[in-house]
Structure 1
Amino acid sequence: MDDRGSAGGSFVAVRRIAQGLDRSNTCQASSAEVAAGSAAWLGRGLSCVCAHGKEEDARLSFDLTPAQEDCLQKLQNRLDIAYDSSVPEHQEALRALWKAAFPEEELHGLISEQWKEMGWQGKDPSTDFRGGGFISLENLLYFARNFPKSFQDLLRKQEGDRSMWEYPFAVAGVNITFMLIQMLDLEAVKPRNLVGATFLKFLSDNELAFDLLYCIAFKLMDHQWLAMRASYMDFNAVMKSTRHQLETELLEKYITRLEELPSYMLLTR
């Protein structure tokens, strides 16, 4: 892998203020996030897009079927799990991610300078998972296992005419998880926007719909990055464009499955 993913300093990742999701009051704003880390890479920081929904969306209320309520609760339970480096399951998932990313390179430890090759801030990825919890690791692992060609293309920046300074793969992945959580209003007891309500229809048909949408979003983000001829200071603009495109596609009336989204066609296995 080339050295375009770093600039002599640590990467910058999203940080959640609170690990858990507060659903006690659906009228409260979603959890805030801040950009943290070294300014040596992105200056003002690589942060997720937290665009506010339309005012009319904020007043909407959607009734869920029992099946949708059950699927939403299961997904929210996943969102509540923080990455814990002392949990064997979490350790194994992290090792599995490394093996999927670099099958020919032996990992020397869960804390190693090698992790920077994947685009983490430093030698301990667990510090970055605080931004998205364990589900952000699950998302990356699902991507690697189900769309290995696209995963490797993005990891190694193999497609397109790229800028000298590129986004760090792993940190961008955590940002995408966080962006989707906000876009779909998954921190609320039930969705307060049309996009979130629409997504639950897909979730009730496929319990891994969030993971699949993550793969679509990651590939779409990279596609937008190339189309916009973006460099590191353009990351937030690319994320806004990605979110807008996803929302538009999800609300198309003819879409009945995530596999029918136009951006799904960008993925290769």
Structure 2
Amino acid sequence: MKEKKIEQKDTRFKTNLQISLLQITGYKKLYLNVENLRRIPYDSENEEHEEQLIELWNLLMPHENLKARVSKQWCDIGFQGDDPKTDFRGMGLLGLVNLVYFSRHYTNEARQILSRSNHPKLGYSYAIVGINLTEMAYSLLKNGTLKAHLYNLVSGLPQMEHFHQFYCYLVYEFDKFWFEEEPESIMHFNQYREKFHEKIKGLLLDYNVVLTLQDTKKP
């Protein structure tokens, strides 16, 4: 009887060890995949890049046609100038992929947040802030802070999908945070961005943490 219990414990230990090793390996692989995507510069000569950019516009502005590829209209969804490619320099293609992912999978939420970002007093540049939050998600992944979240979320190998989902959580939560804090102006963005960053890092210290947009949206 004792031998059977020992065998059961030994089997559980081996299984848990295999899962742990799989998660550790998967985390490293996920970081490399995210890093590789970040290192790809946005290329306006690349048809796939351009298609994703146009898809972003169509998802966010379904009732307004983009009159030209280079246009001041891009400012309407929070880019800085008339050609968004310059705004992707820091995060490369990763910034665009995240924006498109959120708009594609949470279209209503993305449009609502875009609308809120145009608030006359508390408004902010939707796309620029989105790219900034990509940097936040990336840095949390890079320094290992996302480990507990991903290990709790996925029993096997974490995928790029899971990184995108975390990004979606950040976008949704940052918008709520921004309006709750009511900054005096967008000039204080860095201050509130850091405050939000510290809040997220605090949540990620919880050993049982799982931060997903699905949970956030539950009544």
TM-score range, shorter chain: 0.7 to 0.9
Match runs of 1:187-266 below 5 Å:
191=143, 193=144, 195-199=145-149, 201=151, 202=153, 204-230=157-183, 231-255=185-209, 257-259=210-212, 265-266=215-216
SS at match of 2:160: coil
Out of 127, 131, 136, the residue aligned to residue 170 of structure 1 is 127
CA contact (8 A) 1:163 1:229 kept: no
Contact 2:148-2:208 within 8 A present in 1 as well: no
Matches within 5 A, 1:69-218: 69-157=28-116, 164=121, 166-184=123-141, 186=142, 191=143, 193=144, 195-199=145-149, 201=151, 202=153, 204-218=157-171
- Compute the RMSD of aligned alpha carbons: 2.5
**Which piece of structure 1 moves more, 120-129 or 76-85?**
76-85
Q: What is the aligned residue count?
A: 193
Identity %: 28
Q: Which runs of 5+ in 1 are unaligned?
A: 1-62
Give SS of 1:65's match.
helix
Q: Report the alpha carbon displacement of residue 234 of structure 1 after superposing the two structures with TM.
A: 2.3
**Does the Cα contact within 8 Å between 1:82 and 1:133 map onto a contact in 2?**
yes
**Counterparts of 2:217 and 2:91, CA distance in 1:** 23
Letter in 1 for 2:190: N
Structure 1 residue 67, shift from structure 2 partner: 2.9
Which has the larger share of helix? 2
Instruction: State the SS of the aligned residue for 2:36.
Output: helix
Q: Deviations over 1:56-107 (max 9, x none)?
A: xxxxxxx973333322222222121111111111000001000001111111
Structure 2 CA distance for aligned equivalents of residues 85 and 73 of structure 1: 24
CA distance in structure 2 between the aligned counterparts of 1:71 and 1:170, rounded to whole angstroms: 24
Quote how far apart the aligned CAs of 1:265 are: 4.1
Larger Rg: 2
| Residue range with higher mean Cα deviation, 244-253 or 77-86 | 244-253
User: Normalization by structure 2: what TM-score?
Assistant: 0.78
Give the distance between the partners of 2:24 and 2:192, measured in 1 at CA: 35
TM-score scaled by length of structure 1: 0.64
